[in-house]
Amino acid sequence: MTEPILRVQNLSITYTVGAGVFQAVSDVSLDIYPRRVVGIVGETGCGKSTLAQAIPRLMPEPPASIGSGQIFFRGTDLVKVPKSKMPMVRGTGIGMIFQEPLNSLNPAYRVFDQIVEAIQIRHFREMGLVKSFQGGEVPFDYSKRPTTTVSSALTRSVLPDGVVEEKVKDRIRTRSDYRKEVLEYLRLVRINDPETIIDLFPHELSGGMRQRIMIAMALSEKPQLLIADEPTSALDVTIQAQVLTLMKDLIDEVDAAILFISHDLGVIAETADEVGVMYAGRIIEYGPVDEVFRSPRHPYTKMLLAAAPRIYKSDGSLRSIPGNVPNLSRPPPGCRFHPRCPIARPVCKVDPPPLAPVTSSGPDTRAGAHRSACYFPEEVPGLP
């Protein structure tokens, strides 16, 4: 069987702030294989974005810290990689579409300069002119380059490591070549009048336009793993469908995998192959998206799906889940959903249930494909 591009094992992350220690992610495990899309859904504050930022080590450390667990990307545990070396992994290895593009785009640079930087890094890595992440059994090269003096900086080529061979010179692109490629990516994300937009600053663009610029940057790097944190939240339905198609095209082109985080259950149902449902920092149900949405085996998943509107303005008031999300600085013992759960028993208040396989009723018959962190999964289908 193909090895996963990403394997997260028993990952726990805490934030230490003045109000206490918050357990943002607790004992999360998941595998993402090439050419697969894994979706993560859950309420605001359940730990989805923290999980997404932890994989490429983008969390502020401190106040965040990885308490335990492993993050294997192409066989290398990223938890053990010095954070100063993580830029070698990001970009062509792990790409990311951030939730809030205004905070992620550099306000001092035009659209062209920000996208072309991503393209240049990919281009130089493909030619072997700059170090890139190897993965697997090949160790990182932590050696330092010789100290650069003023005279050497003025006399040597901007490209690293000495004389550039003739065959490499033929592959070096001009600014006009890069401009054509940037325009191509802007057209791919359906930006009107890209010749004008390419020379604007982020503050001159609308929210949806900035979101598409972020998506163009991520796609231009052609990463092996793309982490998309609410990538379509600022887009209208038509553009949203086109962008999702582009992300799927990336899978076909470079055998990529996608971790897709969203509040929109419809987008996850349309896009993902597997889905993980998060609650209070834990994945409480995981499995094939059709199986989980058609036959949920955790009370929270069942109630979350019931709360989604099905037929516009014809079913009366929308359902809600009683109670509140727990304070993660003082999470309840046992199952964290038990204060809101309609089938909770005394055992649920003592020990947290494991994410265990449940009986599959769908076409995916793989052992353990559908898992639920509930002591009584057989009672879930009977809930209203």
pLDDT value at residue 312: 58
Distances (CA, A) of 226 to 101, 223, 299: 16, 6, 30
pLDDT value at residue 133: 61
Listed residue (311, 275, 310) closest to 296, CA to CA: 275
- Look up tokens 């336009």; give the residue: 209
Residue 310: Cβ-neighbour burial (10 angstroms; 0-12, 13-18, 19+): exposed
Distances (CA, A) of 69 to 13, 222, 282, 312, 382: 9, 28, 13, 43, 36
pLDDT value at residue 156: 45
Cα–Cα dist 26/68, whole Å = 9
pLDDT value at residue 372: 92
Listed residue (67, 59, 63) closest to 26, CA to CA: 67
Rounded-to-10 torsion of CA 240, 242, 246, 252: 120
| Spans of all domains in the chain | 6-112+174-272, 276-382
Single-letter code of the amino acid located at 129: L
Residue 289 host element (H or E): helix 289-294
Cα–Cα dist 227/216, whole Å = 14
pLDDT by residue for the chain (384 residues), tens digit each? 578 889 999 999 999 988 888 988 989 999 999 888 999 998 888 888 889 989 989 888 888 889 889 999 888 888 888 888 888 888 878 888 887 777 788 889 999 998 988 888 888 777 766 665 655 544 444 444 455 455 444 444 444 444 445 544 445 567 788 888 899 888 888 888 889 999 999 889 887 788 888 888 888 888 888 898 888 776 777 777 777 777 777 677 767 889 999 888 888 888 889 999 999 889 999 999 999 999 899 999 998 888 877 665 566 677 788 888 888 888 888 899 998 888 889 999 988 899 889 876 655 555 568 999 999 988 888 887
Per-residue tokens: 156: 């040597």
pLDDT value at residue 164: 47
Cα–Cα dist 318/145, whole Å = 61
Single-letter code of the amino acid located at 171: R
Contact 272, 40 (CB under 8 A): no
Listed residue (27, 67, 62, 33) closest to 47, CA to CA: 27
Terminal-to-terminal C-alpha distance of the chain: 39
pLDDT value at residue 284: 92
pLDDT tens-place string over residues 195-237 = 999 999 988 988 778 888 888 888 888 888 889 888 877 677 7
Per-residue tokens: 48: 């989805």
Q: Determine the distance from the C-alpha atom of residue 339 to the mean position of all C-alpha atoms in its chain, rounded to a whole number.
A: 30
**Second-level CATH architecture of 6-112+174-272:** 3-Layer(aba) Sandwich (3.40)
Single-letter code of the amino acid located at 316: G
Residue 186 host element (H or E): helix 175-188
Residue 38 host element (H or E): strand 37-41
Cα–Cα dist 36/5, whole Å = 10
Listed residue (89, 82, 70) closest to 9, CA to CA: 70
Per-residue tokens: 323: 């109670």
The secondary structure of 308-335 as a DSSP string is S--STTTS-SPP--SS-PPPTTSPPSSS
